[in-house]
Structure 1
Amino acid sequence: MPYDLFAPSLAHDDDEDVSELAISSAVIQPGTLRELSTHTNVVQRVAVARHPLTPMNVLIFLSTDVDRHVRANVARNPTTPLSVLNTLSLDEAEDVRVGIAGNPKVSPALLIQLLERTNHDDIRVLAAAAGNHTLPSNMLVQFVSDERRLIRMSAASNPLLKIEQINELLLDRDEYVRKALMENPALHGSLSMCSVDALL
């Protein structure tokens, strides 16, 4: 029996884990996602909020959910409309702003606006932005040199690092920053262009 035939019933399962897995499936239908967007259980609503097939009107509806975890997953969803991300960027919940800062489809202009309103102590928001490939290069330079390890680690994972930034991060005093850099898939093509002194 094909999975797509029984996925809708599993999505309504009383067991949260079963329901969440079914909702996360690539074969779940938009109609089922729409139905579950009003479920009383937050786990189901969170799974709907992060699903790439969730209809736009459902994402708009979930963007005003009372639970911050639901709103945060709408903010993370790459299919969320920019107008919704604009509204969510003003959300008081840090998790929601972290979701926007890390969203790969956020516009550079919105990311800049969000960062201009972000407090120096909102490390999770800053770290999410540092790893985002939509971050303007002048801001990435600042994050590469930031005094906080978590932010430098995120910057080290950014696929748009320039050779000078890679050289700086190769010499970082923190092993976790260097490890994050070595795990950056973009590094492998750039490593041959790095300074020999930086590698020794």
Structure 2
Amino acid sequence: MSLRPDLAIIADHVEPGARVLDIGCGDGALMAALRDARQVDARGIEIDAGNVAAAMARGLSVVQGDADIDLAGYPDAGFDYAILSQTLQTSRAPERVLEQLLRIGRHVFVSFPNFAHWRVRLSLLFGGRMPVTRSLPEAWYDTPNIHHLTIDDFRAFLRDRAIVREREWFLSGERRTGATAANLLAAHAIFLIRRA
């Protein structure tokens, strides 16, 4: 099974045998890969009923829930890793969601599309319209994205709250790109963070 590039990076950096909570787990592709390759004890939360059913059909422990309201019941430090992949920008209260993740997991993976990518900037500059790109494929009126963040926005958010950046990775398409000028050149970002 081939994972989406950001999920592959996350999968490569989760310790074998870890306890993992995947929030917005989709059809469970990452959880299944972690279970099969790293013997991870994975649990998931997913808002879409069809994805919950698909994940459960893979033999995964997934509940239907909303990251904005359903994380409070999880215990402090109940997981080694909490994962929020391509979901932060769709949450209604991203700061509260991140606070909960940092409470629940000793380490937290967060991945998101970078709305400052050069293609997005050019689309706005020359077209004057919200872009539709490979990484942002929905039109403005049909997108689940309600918070348009950039890599520099997220770095500032972490710095202002004294949240530790353990690692960061950047993608341009399916290829990794360096941290230099990532805010301009990377279409996606993956951060591994923790409390100070």
Please, what TM-score do these two structures have when normalized by structure 2?
0.30
Q: Of the two, which has the highest radius of gyration?
A: 1
> Is the strand fraction higher in 1 or 2?
2
Q: TM-score, normalised to structure 1's length?
A: 0.30
Q: Which has the higher helix share?
A: 1
Higher relative contact order (CA 8 A, sep 6+): 2
